[in-house]
Amino acid sequence: MNIEIKKSIKPINYSDAINFLEKRLEDLHRNKDKELIWTLEHNEIFTAGTSYKENEILDNSIDLIKSNRGGKITCHAPGQLICYFVLDLRKKRDIRKFISCIEKSIIETLKDYNIETFSDKDNVGIWHKKNHTTNKVAAIGIRIKKWIAYHGFAININNNLDQYKKIIPCGIEDKGITNLISIADNDYSNLDNLLIEKFTSNLKI
């Protein structure tokens, strides 16, 4: 596998990031560039995927961008690790297996911090259960174009969870949102490196 690993320290504008991904997708499709895994943060922005509904917005003052990724509405902000990618599925052509690879990579990474999480076939994302309450800790939203996968997933580390009160996150009303620092007070400074290691390893399977 020939994957470029890109890490951004300063927050990246959402629209600039998506434009970068879409250009890389076209270049990859023409075999002019490599696959990509890119970790970054965004400044606070709410994004709505292709299946969101207007009634999932509870505060009309929010800064909302409509996205062509799958999924519904979510919030990006500092303290959230985003992993974008542009990955070629033309040989495997198995979307379900690819999503399982993402889920497995996040779950394995968090297990290294002694945090037990799980996926849910009825609700996309990665979940944590505590005291009979189930909360989402990572969101997944992808798009497939020309059998190339892009967009990505986001893990809440120490972001401001109050912002989620302005929406119905991912359109799910009966479950909550959490972040890693609320689950366990660990040092997550190496989370991006561990995640990339797990993700690239699982992609080879």
Average pLDDT of the chain is 95
**Range in 37-41, 46-50, 105-109 with the lowest mean pLDDT:** 46-50
Are residues 52 and 69 in contact, defined by beta-carbon separation less than 8 angstroms?
no
For the chain, what is the domain count? 1
Q: Is the pLDDT of residue 38 over 90?
A: yes
- Using CA atoms, how far apart are residues 61 and 101, in angstroms rounded to an integer? 36
pLDDT digits (tens, 9 = 90+) for 151-170: 999 999 999 999 999 999 88
Is the pTM higher than 0.85? yes
Q: Would you call 83 a catalytic residue per the annotation?
A: no
Which sign, positive or negative, has the C-alpha torsion 163, 57, 10, 110?
positive
Range(s) of the domain holding residue 24: 3-203
For 107-124, what is each residue's pLDDT tens digit?
999 999 999 999 998 899
Helix, strand, coil percentages for the chain (3-state, nearest 5): 30, 35, 35
Residue 93 pLDDT > 90, yes or no?
A: no
The pLDDT of residue 1: 67
> Which residue among 75, 83, 101, 170 is the active-site one?
170
| Phi and psi angles of residue 13, each rounded to the nearest 5 degrees, phi first | -60, 135
| CATH code, domain with 79 | 3.30.930.10
User: What is the arithmetic mean of pLDDT over 163-180?
Assistant: 90
The predicted-structure confidence for 64-87, as pLDDT tens digits, reads as follows 999 989 888 999 999 999 999 999
Contact (CB, 8 A) for 79 and 156: yes
